[in-house]
Amino acid sequence: MAEDLQIIQGDKAAQYQSLIPQIKGLLEGEPDLVANLANVAAALKEQFGWFWVGFYLVKGEELVLGPFQGPVACTRIRKGRGVCGTSWAQAATLIVPDVEAFPGHIACSSLSRSEIVVPLMKAGEVAGVLDVDSDQLSGFDETDRQFLEEIVALIMI
Ligand code: SME
């Protein structure tokens, strides 16, 4: 596996295209879920510098905080609550351009302005979510959806 991540400049698609093979390298041959989630969160944070990048894992009736990069965050989110719990309930990626306009948004930090949440699927069920927060409004678009969905599909959960 790579020792150091190669960080590139360029448009967002080019950044993802550089990052994805490196993420494949990090995941290759490593079966431990926590190790893999931790490295994916770190790789995304290093390349894109987002405010917060991390995972929540389904445990019973709640999402529980998993590996992440960024400020401390809420530890438990119930199904259907906030952006993460709504993504879980709908089994769908959610792009929120302005978190203050999302009913029920859970503000782990007042600095978070926009957010994308991508479900991690296992055998047709949501097993967790990837949550990415930006301190800018409208930080995420369809390019992020496409590539982040591709990245979470690489993780054997
Ligand atoms: N804002 C999320 C909660 C998680 S934190 O942003 C890290 C939500 O509404 O689900």
pTM over 0.85? The answer is yes
- Closest atom of ligand 1 to 68 CA is 7
Digit-coded pLDDT (tens) for 25-73:
999 999 999 999 999 999 999 999 999 999 999 999 999 999 999 999 9
Distance 61 CA to ligand 1 centre (A): 17
Please report the domains of the chain, with CATH numbers, ordered by start residue. Answer: 12-155 (3.30.450.40)
**Rg, C-alpha atoms of the chain:** 15
Cα–Cα distance measured from residue 10 to residue 123, given in angstroms and rounded to the nearest whole number: 36
Kind and range of the H or E run holding 146: helix 142-154
Structure tokens at 138: 């409208």
Tokens matching residue 149: 């969905």
How far apart are the CA of 3 and the centre of ligand 1, in A? 31
pLDDT (tens digit per residue) in 72-86: 999 999 999 999 999
Q: Return the DSSP state at 157.
A: -
Residue 134: helix, strand or coil by DSSP? strand
> CA–CA separation, 132 vs 143, rounded Å?
14
